[in-house]
Structure 1
Amino acid sequence: MNELDESYWHYFLMLESDFNATIRFVDLAEKNDSTFSIELSRQIICSCTEFETVAKKLCGLIAPTKPAGNISQYKEIILSKYPDLPRVPVYIDRYKRIIFPFSAWGANGERLEWWDAYQHVKHHRHQNFEEANVKNTLSALSALLILELYLYGTVYPTCDKRKIGTMLLRAPGMSEVLYCQPDEDLPGLLMKRP
């Protein structure tokens, strides 16, 4: 069996923490999606670089003999195992938002807007700085969360290694971020259950 350390998950949590700190200054309302900054430039580059690392690891588990060196190859391999990926949502409960970071890979098999933004910012920041915006950074971080969950779920198919504890983002199979699990109470405080 393949073993997987927690470094991938801890790195995701660090990136999410950075993004969460950013939204203290730029609210996550949709009207701010086009807001861009040097900090968001750093975050989209870091999130997408980690996305590549996790995608390669996941592809190696799914199809060890197939090449996985670019986004087209990641797409082909990952969708061969997880064809419903384009329909997987990420919830931002606090802001009542839902992101589908892989929706473009659905029926039409289009390009991922946030991935293209990352490539543009990485290679031609001086011309494409405005693509380092809230929407693209949030989508990249959301895509990374989904791949992390698939990675850990592939290596550990039982629930004993299920990932929880995010500050902002939630995907199917994760509990809501701001709420207690229904079977736990604070010591000395008995909550009424519905």
Structure 2
Amino acid sequence: MNLDADNFLNQYWKYYLTLEEEFIELEKIIPIDSVNENTFSLKYLELLFSICSEIDVVFKQLLLFKEYDGNPKDWDMPDYMKFIKENCNRFTQEKVIYNNRIETSPYFEWSENKNLTWWIKYNLGKHHRTDKKEGLENYKRVNQKTVLSSLSGLYQLELYLFAYITKENPIEENLRVPAPPSKIFELKNWEHNRSFIADFMILE
């Protein structure tokens, strides 16, 4: 699949940063904190739909890039899990750090052959929005924790796709963090040779 670093930055990373900015704006109203993790908001619901839709798009691009068998139109989460478990075992163990204080492992459930909780909530909110369980509508189960987990999952996925792309080019093989970087996330123990002061990049 013909996808280079510049195309990735323009077609995928810029959109990720847009979603991240929306999340940051919401944080100004509802601070990220354990007391708020179950807070419901229609803005969270809207943002989750956008994030998970993009996760599907980026996973398809990753599988296309790695020449995975099948028709991209038919690929869904079981295919993505199968690909990950066959090709990158470390993926499910990765830890995404939010603002140097909160660690999430957005794909850990795949290591136990379970469906992702935040993806389940996305599907319930999208397809069975007003159905109730224990007296609570599905769309109200989309909360701050759900959105933080899904956004960290998109961030991790984007870094993996970028790493695959840059490894195809020996000149770029160590440039494993897109620029400008995320303002809120980093991947624990993710090796690269970039340092940032504000949005300015320095090669080490």
Instruction: Using structure 2 for the length normalisation, give the TM-score.
Output: 0.80
Q: What percent of counterpart residues are identical?
A: 25
Summarize the Cα distance change of 1:101–1:161 in structure 2 as closer, same or farther, 3 Å threshold: closer
5+ residue gaps, structure 2, are 131-136, 168-172
Q: Does residue 168 of structure 1 match 2:181?
A: no
Task: Compare relative contact order (CA 8 Å, sep 6+) and give the higher one, 1 or 2.
Answer: 1
Structure 2 equivalent of residue 83 of structure 1: 89
Q: Is the 8 A contact 1:15 1:47 kept in 2?
A: yes
Please tell me the residue identity of whatever aligns with 2:183.
M
Structure 2 equivalent of residue 35 of structure 1: 39
Residue 163 of structure 1: CA displacement?
Answer: 1.4
Please tell me the residue identity of whatever aligns with 1:162.
V
Q: Is the 8 A contact 1:67 1:73 kept in 2?
A: no
Structure 1 equivalent of residue 20 of structure 2: 16
Cα distance in 2 for residues equivalent to 1:87 and 1:161: 18
Residue 161 of structure 1: CA displacement?
Answer: 5.8
Note the alpha carbon deviations across 1:20-71, whole angstroms, 9 max, x for none: 1101111101221110111000100000000000001111222432455110
5+ residue gaps, structure 1, are 186-194
Structure 2 equivalent of residue 110 of structure 1: 114
Structure 2 equivalent of residue 128 of structure 1: 138
Q: Is the 8 A contact 1:90 1:100 kept in 2?
A: yes
Q: Is the 8 A contact 2:176 2:191 kept in 1?
A: no
Please tell me the residue identity of whatever aligns with 1:2.
N
Instruction: Using structure 1 for the length normalisation, give the TM-score.
Output: 0.84
Which structure shows the bigger proportion of residues in strand conformation?
2
Q: Is the 8 A contact 1:121 1:129 kept in 2?
A: yes
Cα distance in 1 for residues equivalent to 2:175 and 2:33: 35
How many residues are treated as equivalent by the alignment? 178
Structure 1 equivalent of residue 105 of structure 2: 100
Q: Is the 8 A contact 1:101 1:142 kept in 2?
A: yes
Residue 101 of structure 1: CA displacement?
Answer: 0.2
Cα RMSD (Å):
2.2
Cα distance in 1 for residues equivalent to 2:71 and 2:82: 10
Q: Is the 8 A contact 1:99 1:142 kept in 2?
A: yes
Note the alpha carbon deviations across 1:82-116, whole angstroms, 9 max, x for none: 1111110110125x10010001011x211100000
